[in-house]
Structure 1
Amino acid sequence: MRKQFIDTGEIVTTHGVRGEVRVYPWSDTPDFLCGFDSFYLDAKGARRMEVERARVHKNVVVVKFKGIDTIEEAEKLRGKTLYIDRDDCELEDGEYFIQDLIGLRVLDADTGACYGEISDVSQTGANDVYHIRGEGGRERLIPAIKEVVVSTDPDAGEMRIRPLEGLFDED
């Protein structure tokens, strides 16, 4: 089951003396976090923090929350994980949150054979790489490209692939 509130970054320190914090983003780009009006300090969405302003600064996002006006108040947020509400985010067609991919069964698009489950996703720059852990713990890597990934259905819990020649050949 997909989580409603998605962990998206960590407050790593304060910024200045007027209550701003630096957030290390866990997204493809820091810009992604600048589009939200609020974040949550828990995975259940109970502690909502309204954003007054947000901007990218180097590799972090500097966020000013409403009601957090001093460095002392901001310091209390250090180390906290920020969450976003899934409903506040629109992904492009074919884009998924990594946490929605972890645990998907990976099946051969032609034969239905199960290769294992996605255990991790590496972001390489050119394309993502899916780590598939099969029976016996063997890990295989597949590129997340349209020539390999035929379909992805997180609601059904599966991904169908057509491996490139030699990708799954035994040693």
Structure 2
Amino acid sequence: MRKVEELLKEKIPVGVLSNTHGLNGDLKLHTFTNLPEVIAKLVEVIAYNEAQKKFTYCKFEKIKKAHGYFIVHIAGVNTISEAEKLKGFVIYVDKSAFPKSKDGEYYFYELLNSEVYDENENYIGLVEDIVETGNNDVIVVKKNKSSKEEIMIPVIERYVLKIDKEGKKIQVKLPEWLE
């Protein structure tokens, strides 16, 4: 497992190969990012299937936008049966594939696993997930990995006082309903 963590440490998951498309080995890529320009520029990626515990390196030869997903052709995959073997693989890219986020902006990967503290520097937990609500994002904070208890904090100025992306630290004012 350590090898998996080391290999993916500086990588970001950008999508999952979900199904075949057509007869020539093309696959549907459902993305985790709202930056189509990142997907459009993909060439060499790492694909990992957690259920199978398998890695493969892929070279995208063609990428085209479809309705809510991309259709990709991977070098050496020319039949439906070859493409079937890649279903469920998550595509990872280097962080450098993303444009640098500006002040006041963030990518989800920059906040995930950040330590969260209140305004008195009391440890609250780690950011385990981020939920998009339409109006604003909400960070899901857990005291520890084994805890089932979650605290949800809206990512708005009223509650998020400071985000240190590089230091993986977020300072918040707890919402009234959590005090």
Q: Which TM-score band applies after superposition, normalised by the shorter structure?
A: 0.7 to 0.9
Tell me the TM-score normalised to structure 2 length.
0.75
- C-alpha distance after superposition, 1:137-167 (max 9, x if no partner): 6422111123322322244231112345x24
| Percentage of pairs with the same residue | 24
- What residue ranges of structure 1 are gaps of 5+ in the alignment? none
Tell me the TM-score normalised to structure 1 length.
0.78
Aligned to 1:9: 15
- What residue ranges of structure 2 are gaps of 5+ in the alignment? 1-5, 50-54
CA RMSD of aligned residues (A): 2.8
CA distance in 2, matches of 1:3, 1:97: 15
CA distance in 1, matches of 2:69, 2:97: 21
CA distance in 2, matches of 1:37, 1:149: 37
Whether contact under 8 Å (2:14, 2:90) holds in the other structure is: yes
Cα deviation for residue 52 of structure 1 reads 1.9
* Aligned positions, number: 164
Aligned to 2:114: 104
1:87–1:104 distance in 2 versus 1, CA, 3 Å: same
2:90 to 81, 106, 130: 81
TM alignment of 1:86-165, pairs within 5 A: 86-93=95-102, 94-98=105-109, 100-109=110-119, 111-134=120-143, 138-164=149-175
Corresponding residue SS for 2:178 = coil
1:138–1:40 distance in 2 versus 1, CA, 3 Å: closer
Whether contact under 8 Å (1:121, 1:129) holds in the other structure is: yes
